[in-house]
Amino acid sequence: MSPDLLTLPTVAPFAASSPFSPAEFDEYVMSTYGRFSLTLERGAGCRVWDDQGREYLDFVAGIATCTLGHAHPAMVAAVTQQIQTLHHVSNLYYVPQQGALAKWLVEHSCADRAFFCNSGAEANEGAIKLARKYAHTVLNIENPIILTAHASFHGRTLATITATGQPKYQQNFSPLVPGFQYVPYNDIAALEATIAQLDQGDRQVAAILLEGLQGEGGVRPGDLDYFKRIRQICDETGILLIMDEVQVGMGRTGHLWGYENLGIEPDIFTSAKGLGGGIPIGALLCKSFCDVFKPGDHASTFGGNPFVCAVALSVCETIEQENLLKNAQYRGGQLRLGLQKLAKKFPTLIQEVRGWGLINGLELKADASLTSIDVVKAVMNEGVLLVPAGPTVVRFVPPLIVTAEEVYLALRSLDRSLTSLTEA
Ligand code: PLP
């Protein structure tokens, strides 16, 4: 074959203007998502451009996923290098990139071992299976129960919608998976009462699965005392503590892991979203004492392939090299301060500002006759992308590389939007 035929063609960017109108798109794609009328074509750093060439500040980051923003040189280099070398084999063989990513995660967390999958829901499924196997084989529990919280979110598979303590995600999908029970978040008395009550019957608590800060449930941080007492209960009883780090992990809160904000360590935790910076990857991590999986117990075709692991490792290393935990702390502080000033300026609209690092929520007053979607749409008109976390909370989850100027500009646009909404 002539060398010319081996030369890769130069790939043109995907259509300068999108060939799909929303109506055409909806003809072919199942309507599982309520979409904003916006088509994004290109991104660089914290900025994205739509198909009309209009620029937006991206404070959504693929919903807390694009850790390094868009087209970061470290990710571009890792993607290019790995796709040109070897992108997928199988877990039939040893995968050095998987080993390197697992090593980085273990050395930077309380875990001893990792398993890789493709999404947050799958990581939580893995955690549920691991906890059940531990309950059957170590704790000798015949009917293990996993406690989860009201207003939690753990994914969209059958087991994870059941784990999710929000009936709206479960409606019309029964029969749900047995073995889950819900408790109010941040309420230690209710948790202790539920454990005691289950202990007297033929079902026993095997694990407690919680988010350190409830993301989808309205950006609600966990209480330190609540989590400290849960850790104590788990130590005394052998119940496993599983933390869902899918949204709050990978530096989003200004610490690498959300649990660090609470002064405790889980036995098992899950990661996804920010771990791959936008490349699909999930991870289940655990301490060695509860690593009861044996060959054949759990698997995933794509899980931990050379491509995703090389890219995820580039994200991890860039977080360290660019000091992004500190950036998340400082820029998060700047953002919260600005939001608190806006809360004072618009007292009839804003109920509360809360969050950690670069995951923050602005809760609207129940009687403000405005929803989070109204605010998100108004701010989009000002050139800033935000995302609701429920009907009354507007969420701010920019890339961890966000600059002081970008935070300032986003706050100024929000101020303008709230002014026009109050005047309307
Ligand atoms: N867990 C939490 C805390 C999440 O926020 C999400 C997604 O929003 C998930 C799990 C599910 O992740 P995925 O959409 O990757 O399955």
State pLDDT tens for residues 357-368.
Answer: 999 999 999 988
Strand order in the sheet with 55-58: 40-44, 47-50, 55-58, 384-385
Query: Are 70 and 419 a contacting pair, CB within 8 Å?
Result: no
Residues 51 and 136 in one domain: no
Q: Specify if 245 maps to a domain.
A: yes
Q: Specify if 72 maps to a domain.
A: no
Residues 127 and 245 in one domain: yes
Centroid of ligand 1 to alpha carbon of 246 (angstroms): 6
Taking 60 as the threshold, does the pLDDT of residue 396 lie above it? yes
Q: Specify if 125 maps to a domain.
A: yes
**What distance, in Å, lies between the first and last C-alpha atoms of the chain?**
68
| pLDDT of res. 3 | 40
Report the domain count for the chain. 2
pLDDT digits (tens, 9 = 90+) for 122-175: 999 999 999 999 999 999 999 999 999 999 999 999 999 999 999 999 999 999
Q: Specify if 291 maps to a domain.
A: yes
Residues 124 and 258 in one domain: yes
120 lines ligand 1 (CB under 6 A): yes
Task: Read off the pLDDT band of 13 (50, 70, 90).
Answer: low
Domain-terminating residue out of 268, 290, 321: 321
Q: Whose CA is nearest to atom 13 of ligand 1?
A: 120
Residues 421 and 280 in one domain: no
- Per-chain mean pLDDT for the chain: 95
Domain-terminating residue out of 286, 306, 321: 321
- The atom number, within ligand 1, closest to the CA of 280 reads 15
Residues 55 and 89 in one domain: no
Residues 424 and 299 in one domain: no
Q: Specify if 177 maps to a domain.
A: yes
- The atom number, within ligand 1, closest to the CA of 216 reads 5
Long-range contacts, stretch 125-128, CB < 8 angstroms, 24+ apart? 125/155, 125/157, 125/159, 125/160, 126/270, 126/284, 126/298, 127/209, 127/242, 127/244, 127/268, 127/269, 127/270, 127/284, 128/159, 128/160, 128/163, 128/209
216 lines ligand 1 (CB under 6 A): yes
Instruction: Look up residue 351 and give its two tokens.
Output: 């109920």
119 lines ligand 1 (CB under 6 A): yes
Centroid of ligand 1 to alpha carbon of 154 (angstroms): 5
Taking 70 as the threshold, does the pLDDT of residue 12 lie above it? no
From the list 208, 197, 216, 146, the residue with the least C-alpha distance to 176 is 146
Residues 300 and 404 in one domain: no
Q: Whose CA is nearest to atom 7 of ligand 1?
A: 155
Q: Whose CA is nearest to atom 5 of ligand 1?
A: 247
Task: Read off the pLDDT band of 18 (50, 70, 90).
Answer: low
Q: Specify if 70 maps to a domain.
A: no
Q: State the residue for tokens 């301060």.
A: 337
Q: State the residue for tokens 């009687």.
A: 367
Residues 125 and 245 in one domain: yes
Residues 341 and 400 in one domain: yes
Angle at the Cα of 147 from the Cα atoms of 143 and 151, rounded to 5 degrees: 145
Residue range(s) defining the domain that contains residue 29: 1-65+323-424
Centroid of ligand 1 to alpha carbon of 77 (angstroms): 27
Please report, as a single letter, which amino acid is at residue 346: F
Q: Specify if 379 maps to a domain.
A: yes
206 lines ligand 1 (CB under 6 A): no
Look up the CATH number of the domain holding residue 376: 3.90.1150.10
| pLDDT of res. 203 | 85
pLDDT digits (tens, 9 = 90+) for 165-210: 999 999 999 999 999 999 999 999 999 999 999 988 788 999 999 9
Residues 341 and 284 in one domain: no
215 lines ligand 1 (CB under 6 A): yes
| pLDDT of res. 202 | 80
Centroid of ligand 1 to alpha carbon of 376 (angstroms): 21
H-assigned helices in 273-403: 306-321, 324-345, 372-381
Centroid of ligand 1 to alpha carbon of 216 (angstroms): 9
Q: Specify if 85 maps to a domain.
A: yes
Residues 294 and 415 in one domain: no
Look up the CATH number of the domain holding residue 286: 3.40.640.10
Domain-terminating residue out of 296, 321, 346: 321
Residues 60 and 128 in one domain: no
Main-chain dihedrals φ then ψ at residue 147, nearest 5 degrees = -85, 135
Task: Read off the pLDDT band of 22 (50, 70, 90).
Answer: confident
Radius of gyration, CA atoms only, the chain? 22
